[in-house]
Structure 1
Amino acid sequence: MDTKMKRIDLVGGLNAIAAAYRHWTEDLVIDDGSTYQLVRDVVDLLTDITSDSLSFADTLFPFVLSEPANVKKHHETVRHLVESIENQDAPNIEIWCITLMGTLDRYLRRLEQDARQAADSVRALEGHTYTDLLMAENDWRTATLLSARYEQMRLSHQLRVGVRKAKSSVEEAQRAAEDARIAAGIASGSKLTERFEALAKRHFWASTIFRILTTLGVLGGLVGLLLAPLDQFGSGPATDSGTAEAILRVSLLAAVLGLATYFGRQAAYHRDVSTWASTITEQLLTFDGYIDPVDDVQLRDQMRAAFAARVFGSSPESKEEPGLTLSSPVLSEVAAMFAKASSPRP
C-alpha cells in the first residue's frame, strides 16, 4: 500500500463513488433527498480537485495525505462509502461523506495557504514578470474559490440537516399532540361512560323503588278501604248513611289511585332514563369499533356529530299521563254505582 497519496490518486476513489452514485441515484432521491445531495456534492468536489485546472497543486502541495495511517483510513472511508451507497444506507452514507469531506477540507485549506504564499513570494521577488505574477495569483484565486465552494457545501449540508431535524421535530410534536388528544379522548370517553353507567344504575333503582311504592300503595289502599271502620259516619237515616259511606269509600279510593298513578308515572320515567343511559353506555363502548371500517372521513365526522348530538342531547322526558281525580268520569261512575247499591230497596 502507498505510504503517501497524491492528488491524482484520488481519481480511483472518485470513479468508484461516482459509479455507485449513478447506479443508485434514483433510489437515493426517493429515500433521502439530503443524502442524495451530499453524495453529489462530494462527487463534484472530487471532480474539481482532480481536474487539470488544479494541476498547479502538484507543485505547491504534491501530497494530499503523507501519513500511511491516514492513507489507509482514506481508502477504508471510500470503500465504506461505496458499500453504503450500494446498500442505500442513508445514515452511514452521511457519516462516510462527512469523513471524506474532512480530508478534502484539510487538503484545500493547506493548498490555499501555499498558493497565497507562492503569490506573495512572486510579488516580492525583484524582477518578476507580470505573467508570473498573474499565474501565481490565478492559482491562488482558484484554490480560494475551491475552498469557498467546499465551505458553501458544508453550510448547505448543515442547513439541510437543520431543516430535516426541524421537520422531524414538528412531526414528533404533531404525533405527541395527536397521542395526547387520543389519550384525552380515551380518558374523557371512559369518564363519560362511567357517568352514564352510574346514571343508568341510579335511575334503575329509583324506578324499582317507585314500582314497589306503586304496588304497596294500591294494595294498602284496597286493604284500608275494605277494613276501614266507616259505621261511625252513618249517624243519620239509612239512606243518607249509605250514601255518605259510598262517597267516603270512593274518595279514599280516588286518593289511593291518584297516589299510585303518581308513583307509576315516576317509575316509568326513571325506567326510560335508565334504559336510555344504558343504551348510551353500550354505544360509547362500541362506537369507535363501529366507525373504524368507514374510510370516508366526511362520513365518519357526520357519524361522530350525530352520535355526539345523541349523547349530549336531552334525556327522555316523563310522559304526562293524567292520574285519576275526583272529577274523573270513571270515579263518577263508581260513585253512582255505590250510591245505587247503598240505597234501600222499595
Structure 2
Amino acid sequence: MKPSVSRSRAVTAAGALSLAVVPATASAQSPQTTAPQATASAAPVSASLHDSHVRYGSRVTVSGRIAQSGTVQPVVLEYRPRGGQWSAVAQDETDKAGRYRLRATVRRNGALRVVLAGRPATAVAAGPTAAAPTTSRELAVRVAAALRTTKVRRDVVAGRAATVSGTVLPAAAGRVVRLQVRRGGTWRTVDRDATSRGGRYALSWRTARIGRMSMRVRVGADRATTATRRTLGRLNVYRRVFVSWYGPGFYGGRTACGQTLGYGTLGVAHKSLPCGTKVTFRLRGRSVTVPVIDRGPYVGGREYDLTGATKRALGFGSTGTVLSTV
C-alpha cells in the first residue's frame, strides 16, 4: 500500500506569506569540519514542479523526496517573487520513505524551493567537500495575468460603439490592454487603454461595417506576469432591414436551395445571397443565426422572408423591422 502524505498547509499573515522557519542562509563553517558529517547525514532534497506556467490565482504543486530519510521530516515550500525575498508559503511532513507533496498559490513570476525545516539551509551540494544539501534546487515559475471583463457590449447597430471594460490582475497602473477583432483570419487591434492603479481598463470601437467577427482582449507581459488574452465571442454589427415571414402552405415542399421546408426549419429566404450564407437577426434582445435556404420575398421593400421557426425564435410578428448582420 502506498504511504499517505499529509496535505500541505498554505500560510499567510498580515496580507503577506510568512512562516517561522530557520532562515535560508548558507552555513559559514569550514568545509574541512563539515564535510565528513555531511557525508554521514546527507539528506539531499529533490523537487519537481508539476506545472511551471500557471494562471494568476491558481495553485502550484511541488513534489519530491528526501533521500536517506527513514523518518517523518518537516518540509517547507518557499517562494521568491522576481526581485523579492524568500518567504514560506506552505509546509508539510514527509512520509517515512521521504516523499512529500506541497501546494501553494503564487501570483507573480518567481522561483520556488523546498527546505528541510529546522535545519540551516544550504544549497544543493557541489563537490565532495560541500555541506549536506537541505534545500532543493530553485524551480522557476511563470504566472499568466488574469484578464477579467465586467461589461461587454457585443451587439451593436452600425455606427455605434462596441465596448469592453474590466480589470487586470495583479492590479498595476500602466499595463496596456488591447481590443482586437478578427476578420479574414487576422487579428487587428482596434483600441487600447492603459490600466489604472486598480488595474481597471475600458475599451470601445465604433464601426460602420456590418457583419460578424470574433473579438478578444489582450494584455502583454511585464516583470510580474506573462501575457494573456481573453476571447469575448462574436461581435455582431447590425443594420435595420424590413422583413416578412412564410410557412403555412409551403410545408413539405422543396426550397430553392434544395431542402424540405418543415414547421421546425430554421432559415431565411433572400433574392440573391448564396445558399447557406449565415445571417444573424436580432429583435428586442433575442437573436438567432440561420442560413439562407430559399429565394424571396417578391414583395417590394422586403429584404428577407423568415421561416415560421425563425419567426418564433425571434418573437417576430407578421411584417416589420429587425436587425441583420448581412
TM range (shorter): under 0.3
Rg comparison, structure with higher value: 1
Q: Which has the higher strand share?
A: 2
What's the TM-score once normalised by structure 1's chain length?
A: 0.17
Between 1 and 2, higher relative CO (CA 8 Å, sep ≥ 6) is seen in 1
What's the TM-score once normalised by structure 2's chain length?
A: 0.17
